[in-house]
């Protein structure tokens, strides 16, 4: 039997509902259960692929090629369960499906309405593709009280009724602010938020209260009383030093025990082995050293836009027992100022994924600085493309090297990709295609060249990594670039798409067309990040 846990949020956004859901998933796994995590997003975009990362944070790409909400990244990092297309849905997607069905005449003359047609589509999504999972944790984006969330709340209310309490549970995450001037924790916002939830017919079974500090029994009792929830099910969720502490903190405060009670699971109080998490926390809190990595990008004003990247760098640090300080630098700076001012004291330079011409020359300058000064360089997707342009200009003498992403150019080292092979199928795209969902997305295989750096880092011949790009390094320049010292060390299995480049003459200089950060986990750091941070540690010893 699959049980469903619905997680809603109240009072304010950004409380860390995604992390809370991911941590609950990790605890249930530690109890031996199979879990799947899903997210319902109440905005009208069909997926977040067309949204600016500065507004909505990074786009998390799944193996099966979906562009999803960044919370799916938390889910995957905390549980190790690969997220799928069917784990994230938006209002836009639901309405598109309903309207397409209406146009086909599938509703047989019915008046198509939010209830039941939209809510039915949401319910179908929640239970779709569930096979042997013991638990499906379903997070509802946004904050209770938003107009947009209503159809989702109505759908989960209905589902809760249909499934019954033995198969469903509602958890509400709220904020209990501490008022310094009064010296008090305030429970009123939580009371109001729960009332809001009750007004749409949902009685939470458990309230998870985010707070700067632990919430004493007195306040928890008060919340329980006003919100109609047993005091043991009012769980304090205080701020912690590192996100990897969250599962431990929740367990200590009874989250999984109370959930087990709710579902009448065989064993409620058990000695959970959370050593996987305490080991990580220990490493994060007691590093043996530190390195500083400059991340030269475009969306540096909202760190959520590079969420997985920051996490993967941390994982690289965990693997090397060092703390990784990240210097987020807007690449445009290097277009007017000399890179040396900003990059001379860092132990590694990373240029992440990105789109568009703005700041591109600055990224090229950063790659050049790293190459000339033997600073470890890691180029990811756009960061690889810019590195190839830089080496083409500086090493191969192709002065006009550029990318057609920025308009027509004489030497299109990076050009629009129009066809590529997926499995046995050829995928085709044209320059005038829609922007949404039309990139080369998801997991593709890559063959590594024997004797290369990446071949030894991965210790495998064939790898699979996730992609999200529309442009590619032009294979026709391979020979000229290789003659200039750039090695194409990873290629698509048909040998047509360059996937990895490296510079053997440099201590650590790797550019990858894919996004390795998406698959890194705290307990299983990605080999490229482990190796890159290792090289940064080496570099710090040299200077």
Q: Using the rule CB under 6 A, is 519 a contact of ligand GLN?
A: no
Nearest C-alpha neighbor of 270 from the set 14, 13, 27, 10: 27
Regarding 192 and contact with ligand GLN (CB under 6 A), the answer is no
Q: How far is the CB of 356 from ligand GLN (least distance, A)?
A: 7
Strand, coil or helix: what is 184? strand
Establish whether 465 is a catalytic residue.
Answer: no
Q: Of 67 and 205, which CB lies nearer to ligand GLN in the complex structure? A: 67
Spatial distance between the Cα atoms of 520 and 308, rounded to a whole number of angstroms: 8
Residue 467 designated active-site = no
Between 19 and 446, CB nearer to ligand GLN: 446
Does residue 468 interact with ligand GLN by CB under 6 A?
A: yes
Distance CA 112, CA 124 (A): 16
Quickly tell me which residue has 């049980």 as its tokens.
3
Please provide the distance, in angstroms rounded to a whole number, between the alpha carbons at the two ends of the chain: 59
Q: Of 76, 245, 517, 530, which is the active-site residue?
A: 517
- What is the closest distance, in whole angstroms, from the C-beta atom of residue 110 to ligand GLN in the complex? 42
Other beta carbons within 10 angstroms of residue 395's beta carbon come to 17
Task: Report if residue 363 touches ligand GLN, rule: CB under 6 A.
Answer: no
In the complex, the smallest distance separating the C-beta of residue 424 from ligand GLN, rounded to whole angstroms, is: 24
Alpha carbon of residue 537 to chain centroid: 26
From the CB of 513, what's the least distance to ligand GLN, in Å?
8
Q: How far is Cα 524 from Cα 532, in angstroms, rounded to an integer? A: 15
359 binds ligand GLN (CB under 6 A): no
Does residue 355 touch ligand GLN according to CB under 6 A?
yes
Nearer to ligand GLN, 353 or 525 (CB): 353
Binding piece for ligand GLN, criterion CB under 6 A, among 264-272, 338-346, 351-359, 523-531? 351-359
Catalytic annotation, pick one of 56, 467, 515, 526: 515
Beta bridge partners of 425: 422
Q: Any catalytic annotation for residue 76?
A: no
How far, in Å, CA of 534 to CA of 143, rounded? 41
Q: Which of 47, 219, 314, 405 binds ligand GLN (CB under 6 A)?
A: 405
Q: Hey, which residues does 466 pair with through a beta bridge? A: 443
Alpha carbon distances (Å) from 149 to 8, 99, 152? 10, 19, 5
Is there binding between residue 381 and ligand GLN (CB under 6 A)? yes
Reduce the DSSP state of residue 509 to 3 states and report it.
strand
- Among the listed residues 209, 211, 227, 381, the single catalytic one is 381
Q: Which is nearer to ligand GLN, 347 or 405 (CB)?
A: 405
Question: 304: how many CB neighbours lie within 10 A of its CB?
Answer: 15
Task: Indicate whether 256 belongs to the interface with ligand GLN (CB under 6 A).
Answer: no
Which residues would be at the binding site for ligand GLN (CB under 6 A)?
353-355, 381-382, 405, 468-471
Catalytic residues: 381, 515, 517
């Amino acid at each position: 039997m699959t049980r469903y846990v619905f997680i809603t949020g109240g009072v304010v956004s950004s409380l860390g509902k995604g992390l809370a859901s991911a941590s609950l998933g990790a605890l249930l796994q530690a109890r031996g259960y199979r879990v799947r995590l899903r997210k319902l997003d109440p905005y009208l975009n069909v997926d977040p692929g067309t949204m600016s990362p500065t507004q909505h944070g990074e786009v998390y790409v799944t193996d099966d090629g979906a562009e999803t909400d960044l919370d799916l990244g938390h889910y995957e990092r905390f549980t190790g369960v690969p997220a799928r297309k069917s784990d994230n849905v938006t209002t836009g997607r639901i309405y598109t499906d309903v309207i397409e069905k209406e146009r086909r005449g599938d509703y047989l003359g019915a008046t198509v309405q939010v209830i039941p047609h939209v809510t039915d589509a949401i319910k179908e999504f929640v239970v779709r593709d569930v096979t042997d999972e013991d638990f499906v944790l379903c997070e509802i984006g946004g904050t209770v009280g938003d107009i947009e969330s209503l159809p989702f709340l109505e759908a989960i209310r209905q589902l809760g009724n249909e499934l019954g309490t033995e198969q469903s549970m509602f958890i509400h995450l709220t904020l209990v602010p501490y008022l310094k001037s009064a010296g008090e924790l305030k429970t009123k916002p939580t009371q109001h938020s729960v009332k809001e939830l009750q007004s749409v017919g949902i009685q939470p079974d458990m309230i998870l209260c985010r707070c700067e500090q632990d919430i004493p029994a007195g306040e928890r009792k008060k919340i329980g009383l006003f919100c109609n929830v047993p005091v043991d099910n009012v769980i304090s969720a205080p701020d912690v030093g590192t996100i990897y502490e969250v599962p431990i903190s929740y367990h200590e405060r009874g989250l999984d025990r109370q959930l087990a009670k709710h579902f009448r699971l065989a064993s409620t109080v058990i000695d959970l082995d959370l050593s996987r998490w305490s080991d990580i926390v220990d490493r994060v809190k007691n590093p043996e050293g530190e390195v500083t990595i400059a991340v030269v990008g475009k969306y540096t004003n909202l760190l959520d836009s590079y969420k997985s990247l920051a996490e993967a760098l941390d994982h690289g640090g965990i693997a090397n027992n060092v703390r990784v300080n990240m210097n987020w630098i807007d690449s445009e700076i290097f277009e007017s100022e000399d890179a040396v001012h900003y990059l001379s004291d860092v132990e590694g330079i990373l240029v992440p994924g990105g789109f568009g011409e703005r700041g591109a020359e600055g990224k090229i300058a950063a790659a050049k600085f790293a190459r000339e000064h033997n600073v470890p360089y890691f180029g990811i997707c756009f960061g690889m493309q810019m590195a190839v342009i830089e080496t083409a200009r500086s090493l191969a003498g192709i002065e006009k090297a550029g990318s057609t992403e920025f308009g027509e150019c004489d030497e299109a080292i990076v050009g629009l990709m129009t066809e590529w092979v997926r499995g046995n199928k050829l995928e085709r795209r044209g320059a005038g295609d829609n922007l949404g969902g039309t990139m080369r997305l998801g997991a593709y295989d890559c063959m590594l060249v024997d004797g290369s750096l990446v071949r030894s880092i991965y210790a495998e011949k064939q790898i699979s990594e996730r992609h999200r790009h529309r442009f590619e390094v032009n294979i026709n320049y391979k020979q000229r670039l290789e003659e200039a010292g750039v090695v194409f060390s990873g290629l698509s299995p048909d040998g047509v798409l360059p996937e990895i480049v490296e510079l053997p003459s440099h201590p650590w200089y790797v550019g990858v067309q894919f996004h390795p950060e998406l698959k890194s986990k705290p307990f299983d750091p990605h080999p490229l990040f482990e190796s890159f941070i290792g090289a940064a540690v080496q570099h710090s010893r040299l200077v």
